[in-house]
């Protein structure tokens, strides 16, 4: 999936500014919290992202609600985005910021999907093995999907490692469909 150049530019600028001000970790935590607020409050999200609402009104609300809770760097960034009427890109800007932050901190989020919950010891072992292999601090995010039947599916960046039983069975089924049995060979012209 290609990145939105506008979102990437704004996110990179926020990373650079927060780094210069020594607030990178703080801003990252606050970006995560702000994204949760957007996700958990549909009315606020609609208000903030609706183009027909005057950006000055949005900025007043941000100042009133968040001035004491977020770093000036993040608040200034949010107000700039809204003033420039780039609100429809805001969520992708913040997601890209988080990706750039984790890259800068040498972290990698790995999504692990399993058919049943994986015990903590196995997750710790997998995290350590992946960290060694990838030379990054791996943050493992696990979820359960019974449809994969067994095994694991790992996703990080643009890479998918699919070791699920379902995929293996589909591969065997496909190979069997394409295999001609002895009786089929005799009846071919």
pLDDT tier at 8, thresholds 50, 70, 90: very high
Mean per-residue pLDDT over the chain, rounded = 89
Residues forming beta bridges with residue 159, ordered by sequence position: 156
* Same domain? 92 vs 15: yes
pLDDT tier at 181, thresholds 50, 70, 90: low
* Same domain? 137 vs 53: no
Q: Which of 35-44, 106-115, 121-130, 171-180 has the lowest mean pLDDT?
A: 171-180
Residue 157 lies in a domain: yes
What local confidence, expressed as pLDDT, does residue 80 receive? 95
* Same domain? 129 vs 46: no
Q: Which of 64-73, 121-130, 143-152 has the lowest mean pLDDT?
A: 64-73
pLDDT tier at 146, thresholds 50, 70, 90: very high
What local confidence, expressed as pLDDT, does residue 186 receive? 58
Residue 183 lies in a domain: no
Among the candidates 77, 103, 129, a domain finishes at: 103
Residue 186 lies in a domain: no
Among the candidates 69, 103, 137, a domain finishes at: 103
Domain that holds residue 79: 5-103
* Same domain? 125 vs 98: no
Structure tokens at 144: 């359960």
Among the candidates 47, 71, 103, a domain finishes at: 103
Which CATH number goes with the domain that contains 87?
A: 1.10.520
* Same domain? 125 vs 83: no
pLDDT tier at 66, thresholds 50, 70, 90: confident
Which CATH number goes with the domain that contains 171?
A: 3.40.30
Q: What mean pLDDT comes out for the span 108-129?
A: 92
Q: What mean pLDDT comes out for the span 165-187?
A: 76
Sign of CA dihedral 13, 14, 18, 19: negative
What local confidence, expressed as pLDDT, does residue 1 receive? 45
95 has a pLDDT exceeding 70: yes
* Same domain? 97 vs 130: no
Query: Could you tell me if 81 and 108 are in contact, meaning their C-beta atoms sit under 8 angstroms apart?
Result: no
């Amino acid at each position: 999936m290609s990145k939105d150049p506008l979102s990437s530019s704004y996110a990179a600028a926020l990373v650079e500014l927060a780094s210069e001000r020594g607030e990178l970790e703080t801003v990252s935590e606050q970006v995560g919290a702000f994204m949760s607020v957007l996700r958990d409050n549909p009315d606020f999200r609609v208000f903030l992202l609706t183009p027909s609402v005057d950006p000055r009104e949005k900025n007043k609300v941000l100042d009133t609600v968040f001035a004491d809770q977020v770093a000036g760097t993040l608040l200034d960034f949010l107000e700039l985005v809204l003033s420039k009427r780039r609100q429809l890109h805001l969520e992708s800007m913040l997601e890209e910021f988080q990706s750039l932050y984790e890259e800068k901190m040498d972290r990698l989020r790995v999504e692990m999907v399993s058919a049943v919950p994986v015990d903590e010891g196995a997750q710790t072992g997998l995290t350590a093995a992946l960290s060694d292999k990838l030379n990054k601090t791996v943050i493992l995010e696990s979820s359960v999907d019974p449809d994969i039947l067994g095994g694991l599916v790992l996703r990080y960046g643009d890479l998918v490692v699919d070791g699920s039983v379902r995929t293996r069975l589909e591969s065997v089924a496909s190979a069997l469909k394409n295999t001609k049995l002895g009786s089929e060979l005799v009846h071919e012209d």
